Structure 1
Amino acid sequence: MPQSQTPVDPAGKSRAEPKQHHLVVVGAGFAGLALVKALKAPGLRITIVDQRNHHLFQPLLYQVATTILPTSDVAWPIRNLFKTRQDVTTLLGEVVGVDTSARRVALKDGPPLSYDTLVLATGARHSYFGHDEWEGAAPGLKSLEDATTIRRRVLSAFERAEVSQDEAERSALLTFVVVGAGPTGVELAGIIADLAQRILPKEFRNIDTRQARVILVEAGPRVLPAFPEKLSAYVDRALARLGVTVLTRHAVSSISDSAVTIGDAGTPARTVIWAAGVTASPAASWLDVEADRAGRVKVERDLSVPGHPGIFVIGDTACVMRDDGRQVPGLAPAAKQQGQFVAGVLKARLSGRSTRRAFSYRDMGNLATVGKGAAVVDFGRIQLKGAIAWWLWGIAHIYFLIGTRSRIAVALSWLWSYATGRNSARLITQRDVHAGKP
């Protein structure tokens, strides 16, 4: 077998292969994916590291949890998304630390990964405000595993109530508590109520699913606090029409497998869902840099880390401030804009151009749905509610899905559910990932 030789130039002098610039992107959520899709440059190779093998469309994850959509409609294999990009390598792995002096990323399983430039887009996880022991009884909604666990618990509650001979047990099984009245909490409460009121009644013989109680608990003064007050008021009325009990200015003080304490009152409930808060990934501790109260890294105007110009933090992991002093919201459009912005910064750096740019967030509005035919849309000066907002909400979400197949599949699932009153993903599958947690 012939030995490899050092390349030579036309004059006969040896020359080394030019060193490629290695960009490591940790996290293939909206921010990381937008960055890699927007960035391609000569001499650049990119490695994506994610602890899951799929990109997840989180805005529709609650619809997996509430039986409307199957998992395959909201998630796509990362490798498949970049199969034509020879400059992109995908690794399945969990990052546990960063050595900034050696420019290496530590993986839980496997050798460390060297980088020239590092982008952390590691997202956020549930925050139980110092009560992590509640997670086993009240799962949050951040992953496919969370969604299928919630779906399993909701459907199993109806099944167990059907065979129970104890009225108190039946009542507890048919009580569903959602903690947190942001968009996720509102959407979950609305669809669980719709499931009980409209979809399931004809399928059970021993129970009336319309007797189910759905309780939405919010510590603040109103639901959807990020929306204008008149839209929050509309959502409050829409939830009431669905039979949802909304408890604002109420805080949860304890959660167990059998009950939840709201203020000082105990409520027997077998299904509790957490939608009250998130905390950033441990990126700030990896880098040993300043973070805000939610653990988000305080970044420079170009989204780089102070003191580390070769490291960027984007998406829900970053604390990004606007010119008016407000924080950029943790929404998918903001994450995508940040990814695209950093792609532009890196392109300029790699070509030797000046990179003195500051990220500027373009507010794309805010949307939330309450149930069949009801939603709210806030575009600033333009605010919509009701059926028109619901159709606009649906069109916007379908547009941002990846691939024609997913758009068609989701549209057909929604049309089928709307026209027939049946949900296509009412399967009790997989294990409960939170079972047995303290």
Structure 2
Amino acid sequence: MPPSDEDKRAGRAASLEDGQPPRIVIIGGGFGGLAAARALTRTRASITLIDRQNHHCFQPLLYQVASATLNPADVAWPIRSLLASQRNATVLTAEVTGIDTAQSVVQTDGGIFPYDHLVVATGATHAYFGRDEWARHAPGLKRIEDAIEIRRRILLAFEHAEITTDADEKCALSTFVVIGGGPTGVEMAGAIADMAQHALARDFRNIDPAAARIILIEAAPRLLAAFPEELGDYTRRALEKRGVEVRTGARVTAIEDGVVKVGDATIVAGAIVWAAGVAASAAADWLKAEHDRAGRVRVNADLTLPDHPDIFVIGDTAAVLGADGRPVPGIAPAAKQMGRFAGELIAARIGGRVTQTRFVYRHEGNLATIGRKAAVVDLGRIKLTGLIGWLFWGLVHVYFLIGARSRIAVTFNWLWDYVTFGRRARLITHPSTTPLGGALAARPTVDAAAAAGDSAGSSTRSAEASWR
């Protein structure tokens, strides 16, 4: 018979009387998990942070790795180094396979770890709305590996176009489709346009990269649904000024190798990027907990799992309502606030103190960059666009980077890119499985509607808000 909550609390009390520090396990080394660990720095707890990767990734700038502006090391740091000075924290690289709430243990491929308090901050992954087979043809952008793969596909498309002698194939290889009109999709489309028109413009002899066709597809009536309508309209105009074809209010019906089907139209592309939606991790299954349609665990006002006051679920993994009754967005500031709240609440409990028991989200604004010298910023009453918005966006992102080295490196790279229109990170680091030339031999030809820029669109959903 599994122990009751009373039995578990009695066991914890006994361990504390024996002088053993409380055991706190944190699953996930993202924004939320790190914030929780740091909030527990001054406690006498024994903290174990488990992540399947050894690094923390600054996801808001991943699109710049995918577009060859930044190197992976500019936006990622070893978790061990981030917590090296925190003597009560141990970092383990392992894959979590389950959580036994009855026995209060976390199960991993490297062993079983008991806990007195558990923080689940496992983040989110790509959502293909029941069409998971699309993933291999249209990678999303959540990890360093995703960014490197997208960069590889974009650069290889230009390389293939340079060597082929077939005019139709050359045109198709120079076509890039981004699916999803949230911040990630907007930023990715603008970055590809900047890359093609500036960074690569003089590098090729048989093609004109500046003539590349970039198509941004969104199912909603407008871009950036989480932003005010005027900022969404500005974003569309700014992208179209860069030559990006923006298609809203439409649906993707199929994605195959190098092919996007939009209704009855077909677009043949050199690379396809998915930015249309996110889904929570498998935490709800591990916890056998109630969850929403996106898989986010429904939690109490203090971010604890119902009937399990020792388990906190935070960040993209949790379904949390703000003071206005609307869901707290799955963005970096929200995850950091939740992590800090959970850590401080655990610290208060360990110290026998009474503290606030309701998480209150403080919205710090929405930001999205469109490209060089163009961004949108929504700070409530204050709204910024254009160069001023772009400078503000850059300052905010540099400020939130971890460590002086990263701030200096990113600032230098941005300044260099601004002055020279260059891209230092234009490396193809994985071998191509598609032979040069004939890359589209097995693909259907582009129909007349698609070639003419038919306004058909995709089955996407803006499931993102602000800077993630």
What TM-score, normalized to structure 1?
0.94
- 1:181 maps to which residue? 181
Specify the SS of the correspondent of 2:202: helix
**Deviation per residue, 1:279-321 (Å, 9 max, x gap):** 0001111111110110000110100000110000000000010
Q: Displacement of 1:432 after TM fit?
A: 7.5
C-alpha RMSD of matched pairs (Å): 1.4
**Deviation per residue, 1:221-265 (Å, 9 max, x gap):** 001111101111111010001100000001111011131101221
Specify the SS of the correspondent of 1:112: strand
The CA distance in 2 between the partners of 1:381 and 1:16, in whole Å, is 53
Work out whether 1:58 is the aligned partner of 2:59.
yes
Specify the SS of the correspondent of 1:203: coil
Q: Displacement of 1:38 after TM fit?
A: 1.7
- 1:389 maps to which residue? 389
- 2:461 maps to which residue? none
Structure 1 counterpart of 2:37, which letter?
Answer: V
**Deviation per residue, 1:5-37 (Å, 9 max, x gap):** xxxxxxxxxx98511100000000000011111
Specify the SS of the correspondent of 2:128: coil
| Structure 1 unaligned blocks of 5 or more | 1-14, 434-438
Q: Displacement of 1:355 after TM fit?
A: 4.3
- 1:199 maps to which residue? 199
Q: Displacement of 1:271 after TM fit?
A: 0.7
- 1:294 maps to which residue? 294
Distance verdict in 2 for CA 1:173–1:38, change over 3 Å: same
Work out whether 1:364 is the aligned partner of 2:381.
no
Work out whether 1:35 is the aligned partner of 2:40.
no
Matches within 5 A, 1:131-146: 131-146=131-146
Matches within 5 A, 1:267-416: 267-416=267-416
Contact 1:149-1:432 at 8 Å conserved across structures: no
The CA distance in 2 between the partners of 1:231 and 1:432, in whole Å, is 39
Q: Displacement of 1:430 after TM fit?
A: 3.3
Specify the SS of the correspondent of 1:137: coil
Q: Displacement of 1:43 after TM fit?
A: 3.0
Contact 1:181-1:276 at 8 Å conserved across structures: yes
Q: Moved runs in structure 1, 4+ residues, more than 6 A? A: none
Q: Displacement of 1:208 after TM fit?
A: 1.0
The CA distance in 2 between the partners of 1:123 and 1:19, in whole Å, is 31
Contact 1:19-1:43 at 8 Å conserved across structures: no
The CA distance in 1 between the partners of 2:318 and 2:43, in whole Å, is 28
- 1:95 maps to which residue? 96
Specify the SS of the correspondent of 1:194: helix
- 1:105 maps to which residue? 106
Q: Displacement of 1:195 after TM fit?
A: 1.0
**Deviation per residue, 1:78-112 (Å, 9 max, x gap):** 111111222110000010110000011111x2221
- 1:44 maps to which residue? 45
Work out whether 1:72 is the aligned partner of 2:73.
yes
Structure 2 counterpart of 1:352, which letter?
Answer: G
Distance verdict in 2 for CA 1:347–1:211, change over 3 Å: same
| Structure 2 unaligned blocks of 5 or more | 1-15, 434-468
Structure 2 counterpart of 1:46, which letter?
Answer: I
The CA distance in 2 between the partners of 1:45 and 1:183, in whole Å, is 38
The CA distance in 2 between the partners of 1:217 and 1:326, in whole Å, is 26
Contact 1:319-1:328 at 8 Å conserved across structures: yes
- 2:209 maps to which residue? 209
What TM-score, normalized to structure 2?
0.88
Contact 2:95-2:110 at 8 Å conserved across structures: no
**Deviation per residue, 1:303-356 (Å, 9 max, x gap):** 000011000000000001012210100110010000111111111100112245
- 1:242 maps to which residue? 242
The CA distance in 2 between the partners of 1:165 and 1:234, in whole Å, is 39
Q: How many residues align?
A: 418
